[in-house]
Amino acid sequence: MPEEKTFHMTPDEFRRHGHAVVDWIADYQTRVETLPVLSRVKPGEIRASLPGAAPAQGEPFDRILADVGKLILPGITHWQSPNFYAYFPCNASGPAILGDLLSSGLGVQGMLWATSPACTELETHVLDWLVTMLDLPRKFLSTESGGGVVQDTASSASLCALLAARERATNFASNQNGCGGKLVAYASSQAHSSIEKGVQIAGLGRRNLRLIAVDGNFAMRPDALALEIEKDRRAGLIPCFVCATVGTTSSNAIDPVPEIGRICREHKIWLHVDAAMSGTAALCPEFRHIHEGIEFADSYTFNPHKWMFTNFDCNCLYVADRGSLIQTLSVLPEYLRNKATESGAVIDYRDWQIPLGRRFRSLKLWFVIRHYGIEGLQYHIRRHVELAQQLVDWIRKDNRFELAAPAPLNLVCFRHKGGDEVNQSLMDRLNRSGDIYLTHTRLNDRLTLRLCVGQANTTARHVKRAWQRIQSEAATIL
């Protein structure tokens, strides 16, 4: 055979270029605060700057890296800017990025225990740590009847929970026979859109999702839930899944989980608790009241990639009875059979998720927890809540503005009293300025601004400046 030629980057080249990329990111971290938060490009502008066809010959790495700054950066909305207050945050941190880098470098695919035991066992272990760290019920521990798994997003996690609920409610026959049109799911009218999407994907049909009315604080009304369940039962339908939200996307409303949980228990309905954003707050004992009633939950999910300084993607899903989840999602072809799986002594996480393949994502979570320690994580969560509460005070004292919903943690919903048009214009001007980025929702059918204090590097001076900008922009409008 001929001498081997290669187009691969050698380890030494990797070392050199890798240092350059690390330096690029460190520089980015230093200057991100000075960049306009919301990208100003127009649709098609980035594409138009790219060559029409892939290069026939390889290009030097330096040129590729230079193009990131030149061609890509103008099209970036800076989620890692301390001036980012939009949606919910999507945090990164040094230890997370480096844990993720090691995951890419090791390049393992952890679909089975056997395909990299450490990938599975570190995940199980760190997710058990988090049960203690958040003071979740012991049934979610892998050493008890349950266990945790890392998923890409809360959308996927909630879908998995819904599928397990669907199966359990049909005595594990829906995988075999399909849905039959009688299964019903419930969530509040303020629940995340992923519940609606999940109900469609899982074949229940949107018409079998009941969006339950909320109270004045935008939290689910348990009496309305109970009524709907009774009505559905009388109509011969089968209630199978309730999603309670701890911290809704619109306004951070916290559904009354204890009352909802008792209803689910009475009717033997799977209770899923979606704490995607707010769950992280339970790292601090003083915020653990948000999880009141969680002992009723069959599944629970929260996103370290939102507020726990672990870069996207990293969602944690817990189930109280891992058997139901595994029985729902397991399909075992010959080419995946192996002795460890057949021994029953190991976890194969492919049976805990939609995809087969999986990345070594617990590495970054492990890095984050070890770098910050519980103390460091608590410090920054408390600080974000303090800063948001400071903003609440400022809004209360400015009679041009009003709060639009309670702010139990770090999301502040407020509006200018001048009406929808003023608020739309205020938001557009602020976002166009590049100084801050915030987004909106509608509460009681009125346009409402949402400002979430949760980006890792947001500190007092940023929030102070954000409020000053909001005030001065409001003064300009009127």
Query: Is the distance from CB of 158 to CB of 204 less than 8 angstroms?
Result: no
Q: Which stretch binds a second copy (CB under 8 A): 226-234, 265-273, 290-298, 354-362?
A: 354-362
Contact between 356 and a second copy by CB under 8 A: the answer reads: yes
Rule CB under 8 A: choose which of 14, 217, 406, 422 binds a second copy.
14
Contact between 156 and a second copy by CB under 8 A: the answer reads: yes
Rule CB under 8 A: choose which of 246, 270, 441, 449 binds a second copy.
441
Strand 446-452: give its sheet, edge to edge.
401-403, 411-416, 446-452, 439-443
The residue among 68 and 477 lying less far from a second copy, judged by its C-beta, is: 68
- Count of residues touching a second copy (by CB under 8 A): 169
Query: Is the distance from CB of 188 to CB of 219 less than 8 angstroms?
Result: yes
Q: Which stretch binds a second copy (CB under 8 A): 3-11, 226-234, 392-400, 414-422?
A: 3-11
Q: DSSP letters along 22-46, please? A: HHHHHHHHHHGGGS-SS--PPTTHH
Contact between 384 and a second copy by CB under 8 A: the answer reads: no
Rule CB under 8 A: choose which of 211, 329, 392, 403 binds a second copy.
329
Distance (Å, rounded) from C-alpha 124 to C-alpha 119?
Answer: 9
The residue among 335 and 475 lying less far from a second copy, judged by its C-beta, is: 335
Secondary structure letter of residue 254 according to DSSP: B
Q: DSSP letters along 75-107, please? A: G---TTSTTB-SSS-----HHHHHHHHHHHHH-
Rule CB under 8 A: choose which of 327, 390, 433, 471 binds a second copy.
390
Label the pairing between strands 446-452 and 411-416.
antiparallel
Rule CB under 8 A: choose which of 213, 228, 312, 469 binds a second copy.
312
Residues 6 or more apart in contact with residue 278 via CB below 8 angstroms = 246, 247, 252, 254, 290, 302, 307, 408, 409
Q: Which stretch binds a second copy (CB under 8 A): 100-108, 226-234, 255-263, 415-423?
A: 100-108
Cα angle 302, 307, 311 (rounded to 5 degrees) comes to 95
Rule CB under 8 A: choose which of 153, 217, 425, 433 binds a second copy.
153
Cα angle 10, 12, 15 (rounded to 5 degrees) comes to 110
Contact between 124 and a second copy by CB under 8 A: the answer reads: yes
Rule CB under 8 A: choose which of 35, 36, 37, 80 binds a second copy.
80
- Scan residues 25-54 and list those touching a second copy (CB under 8 A): 25-30, 38-39, 41, 43-47, 50, 53-54
Q: DSSP letters along 420-446, please? A: HHHHHHHHHHHHHHTS-B-EEEEETTE
What is the nearest approach in angstroms of a second copy to the Cβ of residue 199? 9
What is the nearest approach in angstroms of a second copy to the Cβ of residue 345? 4
The residue among 345 and 475 lying less far from a second copy, judged by its C-beta, is: 345
Contact between 434 and a second copy by CB under 8 A: the answer reads: no
Contact between 475 and a second copy by CB under 8 A: the answer reads: no
- Scan residues 269-288 and list those touching a second copy (CB under 8 A): none
Contact between 444 and a second copy by CB under 8 A: the answer reads: no
Location of structure tokens 């205020």: 426
Q: Which stretch binds a second copy (CB under 8 A): 217-225, 285-293, 339-347, 465-473?
A: 339-347
Distance of CA 172 to the CA centre of its chain: 29
Rule CB under 8 A: choose which of 340, 392, 403, 422 binds a second copy.
340
What is the nearest approach in angstroms of a second copy to the Cβ of residue 70? 11
Location of structure tokens 């590097």: 457
Rule CB under 8 A: choose which of 13, 62, 292, 342 binds a second copy.
13
- Scan residues 413-432 and list those touching a second copy (CB under 8 A): none
The residue among 83 and 249 lying less far from a second copy, judged by its C-beta, is: 249
Rule CB under 8 A: choose which of 33, 137, 139, 196 binds a second copy.
196
H or E element that contains 319: strand 315-319
Residues 6 or more apart in contact with residue 41 via CB below 8 angstroms = 74, 75
Contact between 240 and a second copy by CB under 8 A: the answer reads: no
Strand 299-302: give its sheet, edge to edge.
147-151, 315-319, 299-302, 270-274, 238-245, 183-188, 209-212
Contact between 66 and a second copy by CB under 8 A: the answer reads: no
Contact between 101 and a second copy by CB under 8 A: the answer reads: yes
Query: Is the distance from CB of 202 to CB of 166 less than 8 angstroms?
Result: yes
Rule CB under 8 A: choose which of 249, 299, 301, 324 binds a second copy.
249
Distance (Å, rounded) from C-alpha 402 to C-alpha 105?
Answer: 50
Contact between 125 and a second copy by CB under 8 A: the answer reads: yes
What is the nearest approach in angstroms of a second copy to the Cβ of residue 261? 25
64 burial type by CB count under 10 A (0-12 exposed, 13-18 middle, 19+ buried): exposed
Cis peptide preceding 313, ω within 30 of 0: yes
* Bridge partner list, 271: 242
Query: Is the distance from CB of 385 to CB of 289 less than 8 angstroms?
Result: no
Rule CB under 8 A: choose which of 61, 227, 420, 465 binds a second copy.
61
Contact between 188 and a second copy by CB under 8 A: the answer reads: no
